[in-house]
Amino acid sequence: MHPFTDKRSESVSALGEVRLLDKIRDWLGSAAPAEPYGMGDDCAILPRGKAARLITIDPVVYGGHFNDTMSPRATAQKLLKRNLSDLAAMGGLPTAAVLALTLEPRTSLRWLAGFYRALADCARHYAVPIVGGDITASTVPGHLSASLTLLGNPAHGSRTLTRRGAQAGDSIYVTGQLGNTLGTGHHYRFTPRLAEGAWLACQRAVRSMIDISDGLAKDLKSLQSPGLEAEILAEKLPLRRGANPRSAICDGEDYELIFTLAAKARRSDFERRWRAAFPKTSLTRLGQFVLAGTRSEAALNLANYHGYEHL
Amino acid sequence: MHPFTDKRSESVSALGEVRLLDKIRDWLGSAAPAEPYGMGDDCAILPRGKAARLITIDPVVYGGHFNDTMSPRATAQKLLKRNLSDLAAMGGLPTAAVLALTLEPRTSLRWLAGFYRALADCARHYAVPIVGGDITASTVPGHLSASLTLLGNPAHGSRTLTRRGAQAGDSIYVTGQLGNTLGTGHHYRFTPRLAEGAWLACQRAVRSMIDISDGLAKDLKSLQSPGLEAEILAEKLPLRRGANPRSAICDGEDYELIFTLAAKARRSDFERRWRAAFPKTSLTRLGQFVLAGTRSEAALNLANYHGYEHL
């Protein structure tokens, strides 16, 4: 759906700021908590005992992350879920979110209503209260973006997983399938791996983790400690419907988790416990990290593949 | 300074994402904490004991909050300080910040270097670690915006002040001077009233507080409980250099605090303690809240004045 309108009466500028904020309160409904924990003050306040230690911020920009072929509903879901995926990749669970909107005055109220109602539905589904935000006019025609800051905490008080910690011999695992994320609509239909991430952070033998947003080749490099390289086989790649190996390696927006399991861990035992915990989420061992220069000849040379470049 | 360049070699696109992130680490220097508490992972992690309960988010947009006449230094300071002012208005002190940048590929590296270096200086000055963020390409020429999410906590574990709580007879006070914020450069030269806000939140007789970002007339309405109206006198307005009463009432970006003091509090005692605590920050009693319809004829009719309208 096109987000702008030339009919002033159908645009945000007809409403003005105060009435727009009232509308947004309506649209968010129970996804926005009551005072003093909700919108409408200089800061949002989290209840005692809900203070947050994990923060991530990710936007959606018109023409980049969404366009006229995507519904405002899909756009809102994508915005919240890509932040949830970042939280999942640390082993965190969400606490609250704030939303900063930059929009040109021609933005259509119909688009915005669809966006906020879907954001509210998605926020309720994942139990993420929308506690505040900001609305600013864009000075450039055609600009519409929403930036969501997501707050959270380590799941069950356990540790967080970062991108660092992989050692030579550690296995490389990936959840779900890879590739063809645009063709299948996966780039907004995905389910953030929150439960899986939280479970993995409780496993001592899991040493590092990241979610795939810019493509396997690029994001795997972020797990690669100095002096190591990934040794993975093309035939191991779990392909999404319609995906080929190149798309599985290069496409962004898989929003699956890649993590490393210590070499000394008992893989069969770990994989059995995974299947018991997540019978519906497939898990694939892609290969392992090896000392740089010792990769087997059959393995992929990831230097030949590029991920999503933001600039 | 104009933030864009047509010489590709001087733009962010020439650098690419990975090298740009390295540059940003350089520019931020000690304002960005070391791993695991800094940039470079899916989420930022706050140290144990630093979990945040207060959150605010505010952007600066090119063509709105800054333009070619403002330096990147002033722009960065304004961005952080306007968020600090929101925190001050709740009686909070800062814990950390994350920054989301949306920029078109033509953005000049020189502008960006000036922006980040100044942000780092300002962040060190106010002891706000920049713990993470996001960079996204804008799809629309001429768009450049930075959205900062500031995290904090109530000062000294004390209560927070919100916009609610004013009662009939409560005094209305304002810090500093008002008006002519554009002419004097105050809109980016201001000092956020962090210490004052924290002190005020410790005073039981102070019932509500807000900072002036959209003008006294508009922001004072946010303190006005149902059934009340403000009774303030034009001659009481503390005018900034070159300001007239209308500009003191309507201009935005004063970033001063307005708060209400309970009617039963001993004003002279309160004002004496203020002067002892903040000898350099003037404090003015503008008037009081009265029951709607009982305002004295000499008082300003704030319905005749408008503040800054964002849309």
How would DSSP label each residue in A102-135?
Answer: EE-TTBBHHHHHHHHHHHHHHHHHTT--EEEEEE
Residue of A nearest to B309 (CA): A17
- Mean pLDDT within B102-131: 97
Asked if the Cβ–Cβ distance from A141 to B140 is below 8 Å, we say: yes
Q: Write out chain A residues lying below 8 Å of B36, CB-based.
A: 160, 162, 164
Interface test with A, best of B23, B42, B61, B163 (most A CBs within 10 A): B42
The answer to whether B43 contacts A134, with C-beta atoms less than 8 Å apart, is: no
Q: What is the pLDDT of residues A180-216, one digit of tens each?
A: 999 999 999 999 999 999 999 999 999 999 999 999 9
d(CA A113, CA A59): 18
Run of H or E residues at A260: strand A257-261
In chain B, where are the structural domains located? 8-157, 171-300
The answer to whether B38 contacts chain A (CB < 8 Å) is: no
pLDDT of residue B310: 65
A186 touches chain B (CB under 8 A): no
Give yes or no for B233 touching A (CB within 8 A). no
Query: What is the CATH number assigned to the segment(s) A171-304?
Result: 3.90.650.10
Q: Is B163 annotated as a binding residue?
A: yes
pLDDT at residue number A111: 97
Distance from A95 to chain B by nearest Cα, in Å? Answer: 11
- Which pLDDT score, from 0 to 100, does residue B243 have? 96
pLDDT in tens, B239-288: 999 999 999 999 899 999 999 999 999 999 999 999 999 999 999 999 99
B10 DSSP 8-state letter: G
The tens digit of pLDDT for each residue in B117-136 reads 999 999 999 999 999 999 99
Inform me whether the C-beta atom of residue B136 falls under 8 Å from chain A C-beta atoms. Answer: yes
pLDDT at A293 over 70: yes
Distance from CA of B112 to the nearest CA of A (A): 14
For B277, other C-beta atoms within 10 Å of its C-beta total 12
SS3 sequence of B51-89: CECEEEEEEEEECCCECCCCCHHHHHHHHHHHHHHHHHC
> Residues of B with CB below 8 A from A98's CB?
55-57, 149
ipTM: 0.93
Q: What was the pLDDT predicted at B212?
A: 96
To the question of domain B171-300 being in CATH 3.90.650.10, the answer is yes
Residues of chain B with C-beta less than 8 angstroms from the C-beta of A131: 55
Q: Looking at the partner chain, which of B58, B90, B102 has a beta carbon nearest the beta carbon of A134? A: B58
**Does residue B70 sit at the A interface (CB-CB below 8 Å)?**
no
Q: What is the C-alpha separation between A210 and A175, in angstroms, rounded?
A: 11
> Distance, in angstroms, between B37 CA and closest chain A CA?
10
A97 vs A264: CA distance, rounded Å = 39
Q: Is B185 on the interface with A (CB under 8 A)?
A: no
Q: Percent of chain B at pLDDT above 70?
A: 99
Comparing A234 with B311, the larger pLDDT belongs to: A234
Three-state secondary-structure class, residue B166: coil
Q: Does B36 touch chain A (CB under 8 A)?
A: yes
The confidence score (pLDDT) of residue B46 equals: 95
Residues A173, A180: Cα–Cα separation, whole Å: 19
Contact A100, A168 (CB under 8 A): no
Q: How confident is the model at residue A117 (pLDDT cuts 50, 70, 90)?
A: very high
Mean pLDDT over all residues of chain B?
Answer: 94
| DSSP designation for A295 | -
d(CA B93, CA B128): 9
Question: Of A12-26, A116-130, B147-161, B292-306, where does the model show the most confidence?
Answer: A116-130
Is the predicted pLDDT of residue B296 greater than 70, yes or no?
A: yes
* Confidence category of residue A310, pLDDT binned at 50, 70, 90: low
Give me the residue label for tokens 């000499």: B298
Tell me how close the Cα of A168 comes to any Cα of chain B, in angstroms: 21
Q: What is the pLDDT of residues A66-90, one digit of tens each?
A: 999 999 999 999 999 999 999 999 9
User: Which pLDDT belongs to residue B48?
Assistant: 87
- A93 contact B CB<8A: no
For residues A135 and A19, the answer to whether their CB atoms sit within 8 Å is no
**pLDDT of A240-266, one tens digit each?**
999 999 999 998 999 999 999 999 999
Q: What is the mean pLDDT of chain A?
A: 94
> What's the CATH number for A8-157?
3.30.1330.10
